Amino acid sequence: MALVLTEEQSMLRDSARGLISDKAPVSHLRHLRDSKDPTGFSKELWHSFAEMGFAGLLVPEEFGGSGLGFMEAGVVMEEIGRTLMPSPFLATSVVAASALNGGGNAAQKSEYLPKIASGSLLATLAIDEGAKHRPLQTNLQAVRAGNGFRLSGAKALVVDGHVADLLIVAARTAGSAGERDGLTMFLVNPAAKGVSIERTIMVDAHNAARIELANVEVTADSVLGEVDQAAHLLDGVLDIGRGAVAAEMVGLSDEVFNRTVEYLKSRKQFGKLIGEFQALQHRAAELYVDIEITRAATIKALQALDADVAKAASAVAVAKARAGTTATRAVQEGVQMHGGMGMTDQFDIGFFMKRARVCEELFGDANYHTEQLARARGY
Amino acid sequence: MSETESADLEQFRNETRAWLEANCPPEMRKPATSDADVFWGGRNAKFSSEPQRIWFERMRDKGWTVPDWPKEYGGGGLNAAEHKVLRSEMAKMGARPPLSSFGIWMLGPALLKYGNEAQKKEHLPKIAAGEIRWCQGYSEPNAGSDLASLQTRAESDGDDFVITGSKIWTSYANYADWIFCLVRTDPTAKKHDGISFILFDMTSKGVTTKPILLISGYSPFCETFFDGVRVPKSHVVGTINRGWDVAKYLLQHERAMISGMGERGVGRPLGQIAADSVGTDAQGKLDDSMLRGRIATFDVDEAALAACAERAVDLAKAGQAHPAFSSAMKYYGTELNKRRYEILMSAGGVDALEWESERSRQGARPRAWLRTKANSIEGGTSEVMLGIVAKRILDLPGA
């Protein structure tokens, strides 16, 4: 498979870019932040996303979706990254849709997937518990109670958690924190008794929540996949999320870089354009190379996911690790090269720095994924 | 890609795999570990082993020393997709290149683009068949990074040029049969405009070479002197005084070659090689957590660069490649290869310091480590590469 966009993927990119740059430039995020918007994203835009087939991009056609692949999801994520548009696309259309499609039984799929495709249902994965992404450390307890289970524990960094209609909760039904066996995924109604949700306003002004479950009762039908054996499903779903976030970070890095290069070509000091200074030229060139390499690694990972989710782990680890270091470098150079302007809230560059920091933590940072690669290679 | 096309490609993959299985000797399916393992061809070439000879001859007869060159010039006539399949099947098997050659990597592509029909017919088949070994006459003592300031002059004398001057860092000039060389044919023109690209036989009267001893203890480079060397004007490739176009085009190929010099994805993971000398803890992790982190970060970057190299080929095929992108790859690939050897030296500790023992295969590791330091100098320094990216790709002002 060539590591370039196909004609169809280029068309998809153009239509996503057209919509997003027109309706949701960075000022859109700024407005949502400053108005303390209770939803945290534009419902009207989400409606447009559904109409264009993006909400159900990964949903199979038999359930009303577009039946496209992870490369296509990455194409949309990259465009989202360019303008930092807050959107349910990541949590609902990529992560939750993949979890339901990969682990759901016939009844679960036909109940939820069409609603995701139509844009009428928001869903999210609740995974992290501690300060860092450590999926195997999952310790939210689910104990058998009657025909179902009773869930107790807390989750953090639940994207869109305060607006979701469906929570997909990773819990421990057996074993202890750190073990692969004993993990189970549950579909939980956020309105159920015992669920409390605190919206957490984050540095990047994107949606996130802390969720507490106190003896929340769910039926046996709420299990997604197999009891005690969710690790494999979870690996795949998380890798899909990682690939998507890497693509968002490529878009973010590329955009912040383009803005910075434009600034180097217009800002004058010492009677010269600052882009004439070799010290800045070489740093800009290094960053360009970093972004291109990370872009290639991300396309490689998305194609690997399309080929076989179960065999994509190393390619995904490389992509997410690279995306983390590249985006971190891009936003830091962006602020530095914009000088004092880069420090002002009025200027957009800071929004990119803030979002990059959150993306870095989402589904594991560069250190986490570098460690995964070392383990996979046996040293 | 249509279904028939991909079915054809699948068939090509199966046939290629079967042919390689049947024809690549087992000895040729592991990485080259010494200079003797690399076959360079040429008038005085000797095979270091029978399997090396068999492998070379079988690949040559199939045109697969230069798989993507046209068949009429001794190539395999493969299209880009087929070439990619062949490369990936050879990589899976660990098959060595049957022939290494500056003719293949550098001169060939330039001749295919700028050479006239007589030049292509004369030189390309001999490159493909490993009959003539080429060297590159570019750098001069006073023209390194500023290559276009070169002073070796070619004076017109009837149908000939008479060449006088000297080159430096001429790789393997002492083993080469012919040279492709940049000479100044118009000393009055601006520096980029008076240069020609010319070919001549290294046995011509007036050519001498002198190997340069390097910090590795090896002498892969020479000083090369020209004292009134007479060369027919018909040996100029492209237009007289427009040699800089040819030179730049060739440099793109040279940079692509150098960026691919690291042993990417071949053999055992670096972390496991390090474990041989550093040891592991109870969990099987490398017993030096800082080194382990450096290696893992290196592995991430190496895998990402491999994806980028693959994408560069795909972009070129799709007509979307920036012509200066090879400078970006050259910069990153060479810096990464230096990192690999810094890690290998650190991992090897005292064992990696021996210079002459049998145990150390005559200091193979420290000598290779020192050799890599040239990677970010030869073919354009890292600083020159970054300048090219800044100017030609990012379109930054000045410089």
Closest CA to A83 of A256, A331, A260, A292: A256
- Cβ neighbours around A355 below 10 Å, total: 26
Reported ipTM: 0.95
Q: Which residue of A has its CA nearest to B303?
A: A318
Q: Count how many residues are written for chain A.
A: 379
> Which of A8, A290, A292, A333 to probe by mutation at the B interface, max B CB count within 10 Å?
A292
**Shortest distance, CA A320 to any CA of chain B (angstroms):** 10
- The mean predicted confidence, pLDDT, of chain B is 93
Q: What is the pLDDT of residue B1?
A: 46
Per-residue pLDDT band for B268 (boundaries 50, 70, 90) equals confident
The 10s digit of each residue's pLDDT in B181-224 is 999 999 999 999 999 999 999 999 999 999 999 999 999 899 99
Q: What is the pLDDT of residue B266?
A: 57
The 10s digit of each residue's pLDDT in A167-192 is 999 999 999 999 999 999 999 999 99
Q: What is the pLDDT of residue B271?
A: 94
B311 contacts on A by Cβ (under 8 Å): 3-4, 295-296, 299-300
The verdict on B28 touching A (C-beta cutoff 8 Å) is no
- Write out the H or E segment, with its range, that includes residue A373: helix A366-376
Per residue, the 3-state secondary structure of B275-301, as one string, reads HHHHCECCCCCECCHHHHHHHHHHHHH
Q: What is the pLDDT of residue B158?
A: 96
The verdict on A297 touching B (C-beta cutoff 8 Å) is yes
Q: Which residue of A has its CA nearest to B315?
A: A4
The 10s digit of each residue's pLDDT in B77-120 is 999 889 989 998 998 898 999 999 999 999 999 999 999 999 99
Q: What is the pLDDT of residue B252?
A: 84
The verdict on A315 touching B (C-beta cutoff 8 Å) is yes
Closest partner residue to B304 (CB to CB) among A2, A318, A374 is A318
Q: What does pTM read for this prediction?
A: 0.91
Cα→Cα distances A287→A57, A159, A257, B381, Å: 32, 30, 8, 18
Helix (H, G, I), strand (E, B) or coil at A314: helix
The verdict on B307 touching A (C-beta cutoff 8 Å) is yes
**Shortest distance, CA B238 to any CA of chain A (angstroms):** 32
User: Are residues B118 and B53 in contact, defined by beta-carbon separation less than 8 angstroms?
Assistant: no
Query: What phi and psi, each to the nearest 5 degrees, are found at residue B136?
Result: -115, 120
DSSP state of A26: H
Q: Is B187 exposed, middle or buried (0-12, 13-18, 19+ CB in 10 A)?
A: exposed
Alpha carbons B38 and B97: distance in angstroms, whole number: 8
Stretch B359-378: mean pLDDT: 93
Note whether A278 contacts B387, CB cutoff 8 Å: yes
Q: What is the pLDDT of residue B32?
A: 81
Alpha helices in chain B (DSSP H): 3-23, 50-62, 80-93, 102, 108-114, 117-128, 243-259, 270-278, 289-317, 325-348, 364-372, 382-388
A261 contacts on B by Cβ (under 8 Å): 394, 396
Q: What is the pLDDT of residue B256?
A: 77
Stretch B251-260: mean pLDDT: 78
The 10s digit of each residue's pLDDT in A217-237 is 999 999 999 999 999 999 999
Residues of chain A with pLDDT under 70: none
Q: Is B356 exposed, middle or buried (0-12, 13-18, 19+ CB in 10 A)?
A: exposed
Q: Which residue of A has its CA nearest to B272?
A: A379
Per-residue pLDDT band for B262 (boundaries 50, 70, 90) equals low
